[in-house]
Amino acid sequence: MSYHRRESTLDTKKSARDTEDERRSLAHSIYYGAGGMMALWAAKESIQVSVIFKGMAADQVALASIEVDLNEIPEGQTKTYEWRGKPIFVKHRTKNEIAREKAVNVSELRHAEHDDQRVKKDEWLVVLGVCSHLGCVPTVNAGDYGGYFCPCHGSHFDSSGRIRRGPAPLNLEVPPYTFKDDHTVVIG
């Protein structure tokens, strides 16, 4: 039987605790080596994922900004475009809608924003078509306030994209946009 034992354990005067370091060194080396390799692999994966995530796909780069021809949108109508994978509502507002939205008492709104803070030109509203409640796409030219209605949970938005009734906590988001000229808006 002693043939199979380590030399360090043959001495009966030594306790097992005294020879433990020598016996366990191989196991510790294996554990630490495997742990180190797993840590290096995890670091490599996280770096790769972050680099890939930061680099946009070619189709997304192409959609980083879009140009909208405003001549295509008749007064009182809204057209939907796609920007960065999300719907964008571009609304050509009527004079009645503009007057109605400017007359709203801002203190009565859940997310208080005056109409002038949401538009760059009174007749054009540009908003992200995603409800701030749970991310549904609202129905255009609907609801009790003549703007947008989210059929998922019943949020009503006015024609300035402000929440007026329902569970949505915030107004429809206004994306970054500029007017290239009187007939073209660049979103993004």
Q: How far is Cα 28 from Cα 179, in angstroms, rounded to an integer?
A: 66
- At residue 157's C-alpha, the angle toward residues 151 and 159, to 5°, is 125
Q: How far is Cα 145 from Cα 162, in angstroms, rounded to an integer?
A: 10
Would strands 124-128 and 78-83 be described as parallel, antiparallel, or unpaired?
unpaired
Q: How far is Cα 90 from Cα 73, in angstroms, rounded to an integer?
A: 8
Kindly name the residue from 4, 28, 92, 153 that is annotated as catalytic. 153
Contact 173, 128 (CB under 8 A): yes
Asked if 153 is an active-site residue, the reply is yes
Ramachandran region, residue 135 (left: φ > 0; alpha: ψ -120 to 50; beta: rest): left
Q: Please give the positions annotated as active site.
A: 153
